[in-house]
Amino acid sequence: MDKEICFKPIGIIHSPYRRPEDAPRRPRSFPAAKATVKVFTRYRAGMRDLQGFSHVLLVYHLHLSRRGNLVCRPFLDPKRRRGVFATRSPRRPNPIGISVVRLLKVRRDGLEVSHVDMVDGSPLLDIKPYIPETGPRERVKLGWLEKELRKLEADRDD
């Protein structure tokens, strides 16, 4: 039950962000942030049919994040400590990052994407098609985040 589960990177993500603190908090507002996803040779056959998708989900290792924090101060409301599973903080027991990115180009050796927030050198674990149809139909409630996101919306100028 407590056994480790191990994965092998299928590629590596080259992004403009060198440190976690350089990455944008709202990547969908940063179309200029482009990344190159390099897929290792032996996994490239799996990229077939990605053409035609406008967005993909990248699953990767948050390799620069320290583990173990169960409570954290989220950037949206740093005055209060929150349970880490109620935040998107990269410092979590299992540092697995999930990002929806825009697919610009499928190349022989990988992908060109934009709207990214991962740091340079992130080991890629999986690519999945992004399918909003699989999301919930009901109204989504966002707990403590709801108020903070509303403030953000009111402030933003993009």
Considering only residues 38-77, where is the footprint of a copy of itself by CB under 8 A? 40, 43, 45-57, 59, 61, 63, 70-71
Binding mask 114-143 for a copy of itself (x = CB under 8 A): -x-------x-xxxxxxxxxxxxxxxxxxx
Cα separation, 9 vs 72, whole angstroms? 28
Q: Which of 20, 65, 104, 144 binds a copy of itself (CB under 8 A)?
A: 144
18 vs 46, beta carbon nearer a copy of itself: 46
Give min distance, CB of 66 to a copy of itself, in A: 15
Total chain residues near a copy of itself (CB under 8 A): 73
Give min distance, CB of 82 to a copy of itself, in A: 5
- What is the DSSP code (8-state) at residue 48? T
118: Cβ–Cβ under 8 A, 6 or more apart, which residues? Answer: 13, 15, 17, 23, 35, 58, 60, 62, 97, 99
Give min distance, CB of 109 to a copy of itself, in A: 14
Q: Which backbone phi and psi does 79 adopt, to 5 degrees?
A: -75, -20
Cα separation, 11 vs 59, whole angstroms? 11
Residues 86-115 that bind a copy of itself (CB under 8 A): 86-88, 92-94, 96, 98, 100, 102, 115
